[in-house]
Every structure is written in structure tokens, then in C-alpha cells.
Amino acid sequence: MLCFITFLIASVLFIAHSIKYELSLTIDALPELTLQNLQAGRHQNISLEHLDALLDIHGVSKVIPRVWGFYYFDNAGVNFSVMGIDAFDHQSKEHLEKLVAQFDFERFVSTPSMVVGEGVLRVLKENYYKDYFNFITHEGRFEKVSLAGVFDAKTSLESNDMIFMPQKNVRTILGMRDDEATDILLRVANKDEIPTILGKIKALYPSSRIITKEAMRVSYQSLFDYKSGVFLALFLASLVTFLLIVFDRASGLSSEEKREVGILKAVGWQTNDILREKFYEAGIISLGAFVCAIILALFFVYTLQAPLLRDIFTGYSILKPTFALPFVLDTQTLCVIFFLSVPIYIAAILVPSWKIATLDADEVMR
């Protein structure tokens, strides 16, 4: 039982730590500032007229309007994240050639084409779309888009539900005008200037919402911190179960264990000897359970991809990525699991044993 509870706590903590590691890996690649337009408390498209004013702000090195959104595929009941890119931009071409196996650039620029994630490809194939897909545009017309490539499987956790296509196709599908964008990215050369630039943008556009990279880092931290989220619920449930077992052990020894202590006292064992024996016994059991639990948790999470637990993290979404989490052995997590299981269990065995060991042998055996 101790091994099972420790295995559960370890599995949850390993998954949380791996996801946190995955997010922290990529956060530095995100833009410093993201500007969104809010109207009546809801996110609206932003006008491209803002670009000149934003570029005039001292410290802003680059302003990139972004066209992206969600496309709901009714047949499969899934949401695709559709992103528009500048197909003729040299950097975009370089990125796509690095990220996409067998990328057909000529096809990508000559005909309406898209690059998709593995999950999108799987859904398209399940719905009998082999190398193209018919999007239903905002106006209700069909927009046929060919498949130009699939993102590398190594980026599955990031790209699983994504579709990249030229901006004009995205505007047609999502019904966006040429003079608007979903949001605007701002690159800032000097990170120390971000608060000042933030204040200037807020003064220019009071209804806007500006998200900084630091705010995203904090939101990631709070999501996976012990104080919040589903991780806390799982962790608390496992911890409470473990503490119930420990409490049961600490509330007293069974009659057989009392008799054992009595017999040891009768044959001449001292209290110190009994406690030493109980310490070794509890230590071996708890250490053995700890090591077994860690071995099982590592196998369960990183080899089997956490078959039951992963559904808690993926929710009810149909487009689930392969849960191939990066292997990260965090000594802090191991220490937390160790100190939550081993010393507490040893204490739960020693305390009642000491209470019994201090009594006379005949009193114990009665």
C-alpha cells in the first residue's frame, strides 16, 4: 500500500515536472510583448493602423501583426489552431524547411497549401481527407487547401493541433479583413525598457491588453505550483490517503506486534534494542517501497506514457498529442517524495513501538 501511494504521488509529480520543463524550454523563444484589443471585455481583432504608432515608440525593435485563430471542424468535433504566415518571407521558408520533413515550398507558395501537425493529419485521414482539406469559410463557401507537409514528430506537444498557411488564406477562412490582425507582437531589444514601453502602449490604447513574457512565465509557474491547479488536487488526494495509512499505523500496534515486543523484552532485549530493530525494519520497508515506487513511476510515466493519468491532463479534447514527455530527473522532486514517505512512516512505526517497549514484558503480553 505504501508503495502504491508513493508511486501515485511520484507519477503525478513527474508528469507535472516534465510538462513544466517542456514549457520553460520554449518560453525564451516567445515575443517580449503581445498586444491584444479588448472591446466590452472580449478579445477583438486589432487594426493595422496601430503599427506605425507602435513602431514610433522608442525601444520597440520590431512589430509583427499576427493572423491566427481557431477553426472548428464539425465532423470530428475538434478545434484546429490556424496560423497565417508570410509565405514569401525568407525566414519563414528556413523555419519550415527545418521543422517539416519533405517540405514542398514551391507547392506551398503556388497553390493554397498548409503545413499541419500530426494530430491534424490523423483527424483528416480519419475523415477521408488524404492530401487536401475543404475549409468552410466565414461566408459559408468552401476553400480547398492542399497539404504541403507535416511538422516533425518531435514537436508534437507544441504542434499537434496546428495548421500553418499563407496569411491571405487564413483571412479568407476566418473572415478577417486585410486591415486587421488578431494581435500584434512587439520585439524589444532591451528587456529593462519593457515596463516603460508597456506604460506608453497603455496610454496610447487604454482598451488594449498587453501580455509580457514575464507574465506568461508567472502563469506557467502558478499553473504547476503546489498551490493551484489539478496537480494540487491529485497531490492532496494522494497525500491524504498516505497520511491515513500512517495514522492507522501510528494509532497503535496490533496484538501480534505487542506480543512480539513482549517476548523480546522477556528474553532480555532492552528498549533501545527493540527500537533499533523496529527502526531498521521500518527503514527497510519504507526505503524498499520508495525505490520500487520510483522505478514503477518512471516506467509508467516515461515508457508507458501514463495511460490513465494523462487523461486528467488532456481533458476531454479529441485531438490529443502523443504524451511523449521529456525525461527530467529532478532531485528536488525525489527529495520531496522521499521526505514525505520514509521519515513519516518510520516515525509512525517507532512512536507506538516506543510506547509499548517502555512497559514491562508481562504487562505487554497480558
Partner 1 sequence: MIKRSTYFITAFVSLIALAGFQITLLKKTHADHAPIKRAFVAFSSLPDLAIANEALFVRFRSYADTFSLFSNGPELLEFAPSTFTYHHGHTHNPSRIERAR
Q: Which residues within the stretch 31-70 sit at the binding site for partner 1 (CB under 8 A)? A: 31, 34, 36, 38, 41-43, 64, 66, 68, 70
CB 66 within 8 A of CB 183: yes
Which span (151-159, 197-205, 265-273, 352-360) binds partner 1, by CB under 8 A?
Answer: 151-159
Among 7, 108, 133, 164, binds partner 1 (CB under 8 A): 164
Q: Identify which of 63, 288, 292 has the alpha carbon closest to the alpha carbon of residue 187.
A: 63
151 contributes a contact to partner 1 by CB under 8 A: yes
Which span (188-196, 323-331, 337-345, 348-356) binds partner 1, by CB under 8 A?
Answer: 323-331
Binders of partner 1: how many residues, by CB under 8 A? 73
161 contributes a contact to partner 1 by CB under 8 A: yes
Q: Give the separation between CA 151 and CA 154, rounded to whole angstroms.
A: 8
Nearest approach, Cβ of residue 96 and partner 1 (Å):
8
What is Dmax (Cα atoms) for the chain? 95
Among 48, 223, 250, 275, binds partner 1 (CB under 8 A): 223
Which span (46-54, 137-145, 157-165, 246-254) binds partner 1, by CB under 8 A?
Answer: 157-165
Q: Identify which of 274, 253, 245 has the alpha carbon closest to the alpha carbon of residue 340.
A: 245
Task: Specify the length of the chain in residues.
Answer: 366
DSSP calls for 121-190:
HHHHHHTT-SSEEEEE-TTS-EEEEEEEEEE-GGGHHHHTTEEEEEHHHHHHHHT--TTEESEEEEEES-
319 contributes a contact to partner 1 by CB under 8 A: yes
Q: Which is nearer to partner 1, 93 or 359 (CB)?
A: 93
Nearest approach, Cβ of residue 359 and partner 1 (Å):
27
307 contributes a contact to partner 1 by CB under 8 A: no
Nearest approach, Cβ of residue 42 and partner 1 (Å):
5
User: Under rule CB under 8 A, which residues in 3-22 are in contact with partner 1?
Assistant: 19, 22
Among 6, 45, 160, 169, binds partner 1 (CB under 8 A): 160
Q: Which is nearer to partner 1, 8 or 19 (CB)?
A: 19
CB 51 within 8 A of CB 63: yes
Q: Which is nearer to partner 1, 124 or 364 (CB)?
A: 124
**Number of neighbours of residue 38 by Cβ within 10 angstroms:** 14
Q: Give the separation between CA 243 and CA 239, rounded to whole angstroms.
A: 6
With a CB cutoff of 8 Å and minimum separation 6, the contacts of 69 are 81, 82, 170, 174, 176, 182
26 contributes a contact to partner 1 by CB under 8 A: yes
Q: Give the separation between CA 103 and CA 151, rounded to whole angstroms.
A: 9
Type and span of the H or E element at 204? helix 194-204
365 contributes a contact to partner 1 by CB under 8 A: no
98 contributes a contact to partner 1 by CB under 8 A: yes
338 contributes a contact to partner 1 by CB under 8 A: no
Among 140, 206, 268, 315, binds partner 1 (CB under 8 A): 315
Helix (H, G, I), strand (E, B) or coil at 306: coil
User: Under rule CB under 8 A, which residues in 256-295 are in contact with partner 1?
Assistant: 284, 287-288, 291-292, 294-295
Which span (88-96, 194-202, 266-274, 356-364) binds partner 1, by CB under 8 A?
Answer: 88-96
Q: Grid coordinates representing 350?
A: 517507532
